[in-house]
Structure formats: structure tokens, C-alpha cells
Amino acid sequence: MSFEILTYSFMHRALIAGIAIAILCSVVGLFLVLRRYSLFGDAIAHSSFGGVAVGLLAGIYPLWTAYVVSIVSALVITRVKDRFNISGDASIAVLLSSGIAVGLVIIGLSGGFTLDIFSFLFGSILLVSVDDVILILALTGGILIVVLLLFRELLYSTFNEEQAKVSGIPVEKINYLIVFMAGLTVVTSIQLVGVLLISALFVIPNVSAIMYGKGFKQTAIISISFSIFSVVAGILISYIFDITPAGTIVLLSIGLLAGTMGIKSTGLLSKN
């Protein structure tokens, strides 16, 4: 592999943004996976598709409308789930289907699919601008700071919600905070793998890491490592062979998962 590609400014932007997104998806995704909300990221991504369509129709930068629609949709569906005691998988299904339906209707009204729509569906990490990189780094830093400051509360409410309530932790507010961070993370990550594959970055590296049977912090480190490897290698390989970065990144993640499953089947992974 020629190292010449590492001298290009667009590649620098893509790698920096990709690494930040990889870290963000692993950290936020781990809380979702442990809460059995693995598909929540996918549902938010589909609602963001409706937000992108609204932005394109209204002539507004699509990511801004995607942020608003995704976060509002996630908070509303979480509130409805709690208020009417709807199961988690059912609420996720409602959010997923309604988001994509709204997006399709609005796209039809605006004249059909365009190149901009396809870039949001499948990602366009090699086209990120300096402003995009700054936004991604700022959001990543902000969310990681929140996680560190509220780590005990987030962890406690994830593993033992009832005991957390007894201990005085505002579990409902923590739940809304996680949903809010998930919404920000999903829309921020759309530029990397697009709406259709976003849940892969939330779920696959974390599932692979959990298989190693380590503690929470070690699991998070393993997940982040797998995610960063998949993203960096995927971006470089996709450029060299002129294939889609999103699909390459996800396939590499699946390869790491398959490798982990293979190692586990041999009994080499400890069961703690």
C-alpha cells in the first residue's frame, strides 16, 4: 500500500472524523447494547432520514434538521414507551418505520432521490469538510466529558435500574440523557456509514468486545479498538480499491466479530 494517500488533506479529515466517530459510537453504543436497545441507534438513524429530507426540501443544511428530528423523535418515543408501558422493541419498531415513512413521503414531494440523499443513506466520509471535522470533534469531546462526569450514574442505571432508583439516582433523567446522546451520535455518524448502516457501528464492535468477558472499562477499550481499526482500515482500503467506505467498514467489523466468535469457540476466551 502506498503511503502517498496519507498526504492528502481530504484523507486527513476523513481519518480524524472517522476515529472520533468510532470512539463515540463504541462508547454510546455500549450503553445501548447492555440495555438491550441494540436497534435503537438504527431507529434514530431512520428518523434522521426524515430530518434530512425536511432539510433538503426546506433548503436548510440537512444535518441540522436531522439533529432536531432525531433527538425530538427519540425523546418522544421514550416518553410514550414509559407513559403507556410499551415494550422497548415495539417502540423501536414504531420509531424506525415512522422515520423512514416520513422521509420517503417528503422525498417524493421534493422530486425524488438525489445525489445528496444517497450520500446520507450510504455515507460520504471522504467528502467531509473542515467545518464537519470541527463539529464532529466538538460533539465527541462534549459527549465523552458528560459520560466521564456521570459515569457512576450511567453505569449503575444500566446494570441495576431498580437499585439505582433506591440509591437516589435520577434514572429517568439518565435514560433521557442516553437517548439524547444517542441521537447526537447517530446524526454525527451519518457522514461515515450513512443511515442504512449506522447501527453496525453501535452494535458489532460492542458485541465482539462483550464476548471477551471483561469488565465494563476493558470491554469499552476493546470495542473502541475494534471500531477504530475497522474505520481506519475501511477508509484506506475503500480508497485504494475504489469501493464504498461504509460497506468496507461494516464488513471489517463483521470480520472481527467472526474472528472473536472463532476464538471463543476454541475456549481461549475466559468466562468471567
pLDDT averaged over every residue in the chain = 86
Residue 187 lies in a domain: yes
Highest mean pLDDT among 32-36, 148-152, 186-190, 195-199: 148-152
pLDDT band of residue 73 (cuts 50, 70, 90) is: confident
pLDDT band of residue 229 (cuts 50, 70, 90) is: very high
Residue 189 lies in a domain: yes
Residue 270 lies in a domain: no
**Tally of domains in the chain:** 1
Cα–Cα distance, 108 to 100 (Å, whole number) = 12
Residue 55 lies in a domain: yes
Residue 41: CATH number of its domain: 1.10.3470.10
Count CB neighbours of 113 within 10 A: 12
Q: Confirm if 67 and 243 have CB atoms less than 8 A apart.
A: no
Residue 271 lies in a domain: no
Q: Confirm if 17 and 192 have CB atoms less than 8 A apart.
A: yes
Please tell me the least confidently modeled range out of 32-36, 154-158, 160-164, 191-195: 191-195
Residue 272 lies in a domain: no
Residue 80 lies in a domain: yes
Q: 130 is in which domain, residue-wise?
A: 3-265
Q: What is the tens place of the pLDDT at every residue in 120-140?
A: 777 788 888 899 999 999 999
- Report field, pTM of the whole predicted structure over 0.85: yes
Q: Please give the average per-residue pLDDT across 67-84, as a whole number.
A: 82
Say which DSSP state 269 is in. Answer: S
User: Residue 47 — φ and ψ, nearest 5°?
Assistant: -70, -35
Say which DSSP state 85 is in. Answer: T
- The pLDDT of residue 149 is 96
Residue 42 lies in a domain: yes
